Amino acid sequence: MARSRKVTVSTDVHGHTTGWAQTEPAPPVAPDPSVAAFFDVDNTMMQGASLYWFARGLAARNYFTTADLVRFGWQQLRFRLLAREHAGDMTQAKEAALAFVAGWRVEDVERLTEEIFDELMAPRIWAGTRRLAQGHLDAGERVWLVSAAPVEIGRAIATRLGLTGAIGTVAEVVDGAYTGRLVGDLMHGPAKAEAVTQLAAVEGLDLSRCVAYSDSANDLPMLRTVGRAVAVNPDAALLHQARQHGWEVRDFRTGRRAVKIAVPSTAAAGLVVGAVTAGVALHRRRRSA
């Protein structure tokens, strides 16, 4: 938690400064255990999709190629469109979502995630959203990321930003390695609201005093679960809802930049799951050879 400091400048008997200053930390803010803020990740906390940048990092390490990324893109984009048009019908996406990590050791995925965050994700954290999160921390409140991306990615981002923790899609682990199957559902749509509600019950949070931030209408269930909803860099559907309900809107995008960063969150992000699946298969073939 950031703490301001009180600065006292010393003077001599003639009223001149002595050239040094004594600093004292301000009293820390008492934590408020009943309040938390929940932040979506993709295009809310960071520009673009975290899974897209993770895949870019894997490609840079020769786990798969750009051609693989393009080849499997259309199939995964269809998954995203189906998820939007048929909320709750996520069977296909669920089956493919974490297939790319099957057989990987947990420690290897965690190491790669941390490396790739530092290289590619950290520069894309929205400064404005980061300030919002820090404001909650400074007020003694907990801050959780809530993302459809694998929880390892959310955890790495939360750790690097000094946040409380992360909620994300969970992969099954057996003997320290991923099986490629999910534990529960994708952390998407209503699943986010359910996870937030469950966390509140465990942590003793008063959801009527909590805040949620998101860019997407897909997160309306989560936004409606808390007492205060904030639309950050909202898509058209969420902006419409925010205006209807009188929700606060924060937009950190500007002009052409907003158009450019929209690409990784839609088509490019849709490429990732299938592309990584192909890339890992390619990597295994190379390793076997």
Which residues are identified as catalytic?
Answer: 40, 42
Q: Is the dihedral of CA 272, 274, 278, 281 positive or negative?
A: positive
Q: Angle, nearest 10°, between helix axes 151-161 and 50-60?
A: 100
From CA 143, how far away is CA 209, in angstroms rounded?
Answer: 13
Q: Where are the alpha helices (DSSP H) in the chain?
A: 50-60, 66-71, 73-85, 91-96, 106-116, 127-138, 151-161, 190-203, 220-225, 236-245, 255-265, 267-288
229-261 burial: b if 16+ Cβ within 10 Å, else e:
bbbbbbbeebbebbeeeebeebebbeeeeeeeb
Which structure tokens are listed for 222? 């989560």
In single-letter form, the type of residue at position 29 comes to V
d(CA 37, CA 1): 15
Rounded to whole angstroms, the Cα distance separating 65 from 86 reads 31
Distance from C-alpha of 273 to C-alpha of 97, rounded to nearest angstrom: 6
Check: CB of residue 195 under 8 Å from CB of residue 167. Answer: yes
Q: Tell me the C-alpha distance between 164 and 278, whole Å.
A: 34
CB 39 within 8 A of CB 133: yes
